[in-house]
Amino acid sequence: MANFESKLLSLVVPFYNEESALHAFFSSVVPVLESIPATSFEIVCVNDGSTDDTLARLLLESRRDGRIRVIDLTRNFGKEAALTAGIDEATGDAVIPFDADLQDPPELIPTLVQRWRQGAEVVLAQRTSRASDSFLKRLTAAAYYRVHNSVSDLKIPENVGDFRLMDRSVINALKQLPERHRFMKGLFAWVGYRTVIVPYERAARSAGRSKFSGWRLWNLALEGITSFSTMPLRSWTYIGSVIAFGAFGYGAFIVGRTLVLGVDVPGYASLLSVLLFLGGIQLIGLGVVGEYVGRIYDEAKGRPIYLIRRRYQEMGQERQIAASKRVIRIDRGKRSAAADT
């Protein structure tokens, strides 16, 4: 078993307009991290273009505690990009993505670390229920997992969010994935590694409200499916074949009826309905193709996933005193060495 003495744990937390949740977040998380034996920690806070006082409050917390680092992005790039930035900046031997709303219990972190010490490279936190979500969200989430896992070769564990622990080897593998359209749960699953699951109950938000509207959740679902499956493209081959065979059969029926019963005048309503139906099918097919072409276009441009305005890493008072003492000891050692010579 590897030696876990003096290992560094990195907690990566994206923040977007979370000023009302900051006090509760640090009050809950820091004591839990301090209680983990034989492990130091850092909290990598990514300010994702907040428009309230989130950045100022993060900097205040960073000045109070030197273990808190603040990464300020130039604008709001979205949670997936902010999470990528935090993972890129984290220096720990293990990294835990975490949400600022405290729906995921910080008290579970020591259990994740324990399973990591036992040899797991990825420790997933899986919700046992979604009672804290609305009925519509529970219904759509269940439908999404079924659809995604049925059309994609990559299976995503159900009811598992970003909350997990990943070993440094997993982080190094993730940093090799260059795509700009980031569906992090899919990327986490794609890299593999030895994985164990820890169940837990998810609570309601401690403050504020979710930044993911129904429209953003829908776009995220499309991102996940189109990033890890080409089934939507292949399916239109089968849809087109079925319609073509149906049209051929109907044409044969019309010819046969005309030969037997003579020529009649076809109905305008039925003709219009068929044309509208086929036109709608074609537009849907073009839309699916457009989703993939748009992603190819964005990837071809090669723009960075995020831009960092500034990195803040303040030294807390206790660390400043300790650093000063180390400087004094080093200086005294140099003086004594010079006196000996």
Number of domains the chain contains:
2
Residue 320 forms part of a structural domain: no
Q: What is the pLDDT of residue 220?
A: 57
* Tens of pLDDT, residues 149-163: 666 667 777 778 788
* Tens of pLDDT, residues 279-307: 777 777 777 777 777 778 777 887 888 89
Residue 339 forms part of a structural domain: no
**198 lies in the same domain as 242:** no
**120 lies in the same domain as 170:** yes
Q: What is the pLDDT of residue 45?
A: 92
Q: Is 86:97 a contact under the CB 8 Å cutoff? A: yes
Residue keyed to tokens 């109905």: 267
**247 lies in the same domain as 284:** yes
The predicted model scores a pTM of: 0.65
Beta bridge partners of 164: 124
Q: What is the pLDDT of residue 2?
A: 44
The CA distance from 95 to 83, in Å, is 11
Q: Is 108:125 a contact under the CB 8 Å cutoff? A: yes
Q: What is the pLDDT of residue 104?
A: 84
**207 lies in the same domain as 240:** no
Q: What is the pLDDT of residue 316?
A: 45
The CA distance from 219 to 129, in Å, is 24
Q: What is the bridge-based pairing of β-strands 308-312 and 160-167?
A: unpaired
**97 lies in the same domain as 177:** yes
Q: What is the bridge-based pairing of β-strands 94-97 and 195-200?
A: unpaired
3-state secondary structure 77-118: CCHHHHHHHHHHHCCCCEEEECCCCCCCCHHHHHHHHHHHHC
Give the CATH number, domain containing residue 132.
3.90.550.10
**14 lies in the same domain as 128:** yes
Q: Is 15:100 a contact under the CB 8 Å cutoff? A: yes
**245 lies in the same domain as 169:** no
Which of the residues in the chain have pLDDT under 50?
1-4, 206, 212, 315-331, 334-335, 337-338, 341
Tokens of 123: 């420790």
What is the domain range of residue 60?
A: 7-214+307-312
The CA distance from 106 to 125, in Å, is 11
Question: What kind and span of H or E run contains 293?
Answer: helix 268-301
Question: What kind and span of H or E run contains 315?
Answer: none
**293 lies in the same domain as 196:** no
* 168 Cα distance to chain centroid: 18
In Å, how far are 8, 12, 122, 323 from 5, measured between CA atoms? 9, 21, 19, 22
**248 lies in the same domain as 206:** no
Question: What kind and span of H or E run contains 309?
Answer: strand 308-312
Residue 221 forms part of a structural domain: no
Residue 76 forms part of a structural domain: yes
Residue 337 forms part of a structural domain: no
In Å, how far are 65, 251, 319 from 325, measured between CA atoms? 18, 91, 10
**146 lies in the same domain as 259:** no
3-state secondary structure 43-69: EEEEECCCCCCHHHHHHHHHHHCCCEE
Q: Is 192:240 a contact under the CB 8 Å cutoff? A: no
**203 lies in the same domain as 295:** no
**182 lies in the same domain as 285:** no
